[in-house]
Amino acid sequence: ASSFGIEEALKELGVNETNNGTSTGKNWFSSGEEIASYSPVDGKLIGKVSATTKEDYEKVITTATEGFKEWRQLPAPQRGEIVRKFNDELRRLKEPLGKLVSYEMGKSYQEGLGEVQEMIDICDFAVGLSRQLHGLTMHSERPGHRMYEQYHPLGVVGIISAFNFPVAVWSWNTALAWVCGDACIWKGSEKTPLTSVACQNIAARVFSENGAPEGISCLITGDYTVGEMMTKDERVPLISATGSTRMGKIVAKKVAGRLGKTLLELGGNNAIIVTPDADIKNTVIGAVFGAVGTCGQRCTSTRRLIVHEDVYDKVKDAIVDAYQQIKIGNPLDENNHVGPLIDKDAVKNYQNALDKVVEEGGNILVEGGVLEGEGYESGCYVKPAIAEAKNEFEIVQHETFAPVLYLLKYSGDLENAIEIQNGVRQGLSSAIMTNNLREAERFLSVAGSDCGIANVNIGTSGAEIGGAFGGEKETGGGRESGSDAWKIYMRRQTNTINYTTELPLAQGIKFDL
Ligand code: NAD
């Protein structure tokens, strides 16, 4: 690993062999048992992090709650200025952080850099937003009255994130929450604890150098039990949770039980519809990148390709052919397209899915399998696979977080393809490949895709910061990142002001005293 500059990157990011956050200045307290982080790239131990105990958590939440009281008083553009300085640090540390993301999570170095770029982009967005955060004004029905609404900071925001975007998802939430005047407590994935430590080191340094109160960026470390400390805590008005639908259902119930707010970003089961009018070359590029990029571990990964029977054989041959060109190996080596899965459990899930699709009557077009031998010692490298299947197969209905692509055939009208596309419990990302304007518009219409993201002539995976990101149905309904997603991090207040000498009551009610 050292040949790829990992040791230098860790050093630059202040990540050590053993990391604990017991010093106050780091806004991170952890004194519990150690979590070891092994790289899926080469199976080696990268470092350890101690977990947050209940007592540690109390210190964190107290610091965050106190810090919030001061932070909310700072004018939003001044909060934006601190986020801008944080962004300067991200730009400076883009390469080491991108490298650590790649090494700890297993995505390609290019994708690791891309993830840090997303952090940079959302910070830019947030800085501009810090001069907006606007409410509306309305006309009052009463003479001499003014009515308007304003958005105030919400409080302490709890962020729970998944392993597959170990740094970007945190920043999508924090950059907005910070300019909105909130304090954030982050529980990253226990599978990628060192990237969390690296981010917290940057944030804590920038906040303290710029005179921000303690506790605006806090980190807690550990598994779901540490996450639960926040989900059941009334001092945390909003929980933003990214991960599996299974996790989302548990978190949603816990937080709803105390009438807290949730922002849920859960699993997807994304499809591309390929109509007879599709550009086949672009379809293949979009589908292959969507299915095998990040080793199929994006929430927006392409899982289903719904192809019209007239072009089915042509698309099938082209995709199978493209899969022969895929290079699998160390993601830090830029010659490879696909890195490892996150761990051996993920490998098992991948193998189960391939067994299951055959059991249900599917036909394997591109064989899967676990790679062995030199360079594959971690046991996490698998071959991207393709199976012909039916949408109603149980395994097709399920999100398998691995590079398994299901080829589904449709005949007749586009309506049949849309029915298949919408015929799953998840509703995150969707796409249509067509040069036919009528088809494209029908796909985007009220009777079209039911997903939070619907694209024309680009694939399902990846999204830009400027739009709101999220999905419907079992994907959880939350929206984060661009557009007006910031509103969830604030509380809305409607204000009516009477500037007359009278006190007229609403609806013309008379109340003579
Ligand atoms: P996961 O659900 O196993 O874990 C996600 C996070 O939730 C972790 O930090 C985990 O510790 C925490 N957690 C789990 N149970 C919890 C509980 N009961 N209370 C509190 N916290 C709990 O998911 P994963 O394997 O890390 O990530 C993969 C999943 O995430 C996929 O389903 C993927 O689609 C989804 N995902 C969705 C989006 C999106 O924006 N929609 C983005 C990235 C990943």
Ligand 1 centroid distance, CA of 246 (Å): 8
User: Ligand 1, atom 26: nearest CA belongs to which residue?
Assistant: 162
Cα gap 28→186, rounded to integer Å: 10
**What letter represents residue 506's amino acid?**
A
What is residue 291's predicted lDDT score, i.e. its pLDDT?
A: 98
Q: What is the mean pLDDT of each run of 10 residues along the chain (513 residues)?
A: 84 92 81 96 97 96 97 98 98 98 98 98 98 97 96 98 98 98 98 98 96 96 98 98 98 98 98 98 98 98 98 98 98 97 98 98 98 97 98 98 98 98 98 98 98 98 93 98 98 98 89 86
Residue minimizing CA distance to atom 42 of ligand 1: 299
Interface confidence (ipTM) of the complex? 0.97
DSSP H or E run through 304: strand 302-308
Which residue, by CA, sits nearest to atom 39 of ligand 1?
Answer: 265
- The tokens of 295 are what? 């080793």
CB 298 within 8 A of CB 264: no
pLDDT of residue 23: 72
CB of 162 within 6 A of ligand 1: the answer is: yes
The predicted structure's pLDDT at residue 1:
46
All residues at 6 or more sequence positions from 450 whose CB lies less than 8 Å from its CB, including other chains: 422, 427, 472, 473
Does the C-beta of 223 come closer than 6 Å to ligand 1? yes
How much distance in Å is there from the Cα of 70 to the middle of ligand 1? Answer: 32
What is the tens place of the pLDDT at every residue in 436-466?
999 999 999 999 999 999 999 999 997 899 9
Q: How far is the CA of 281 from the centre of ligand 1 (A)?
A: 34
Per the CB < 8 A criterion, the answer to whether 54 and 31 are in contact is: no
**pLDDT value at residue 253:** 98
The predicted pLDDT at position 76 comes to 98
Atom of ligand 1 nearest to the CA of 299: 34
CA nearest ligand 1 atom 41, residue: 265
Say if ligand 1 is within 6 A of residue 268 CB: yes
Catalytic positions, written as ranges: 265, 299
Residue 153 Cα to ligand 1 midpoint, Å, equals: 26
Q: Report the C-alpha gap between 32 and 54 in whole angstroms.
A: 9
Q: Is the CB of 244 under 6 A from ligand 1?
A: yes
Q: Is the CB of 250 under 6 A from ligand 1?
A: yes
Q: Best of 160, 173, 236, 400 to mutate for ligand 1, by most ligand atoms within 8 A of CB?
A: 160
Residue 272: strand pairing partners: 305, 431
- Cβ of 98 closer than 6 Å to ligand 1, yes or no, is no
For the stretch 111-147, pLDDT in tens is 999 999 999 999 999 999 999 999 999 999 999 999 9
Q: 243 CB under 6 A from ligand 1?
A: yes
Residue with tokens 């890195």: 339
Burial category of 199 from C-beta neighbours within 10 Å (exposed 0-12, middle 13-18, buried 19 and up): buried
Give pLDDT, residue 351. 98
Q: Is the CB of 343 under 6 A from ligand 1?
A: no
Query: What atom of ligand 1 comes closest to residue 189's alpha carbon?
Result: 9
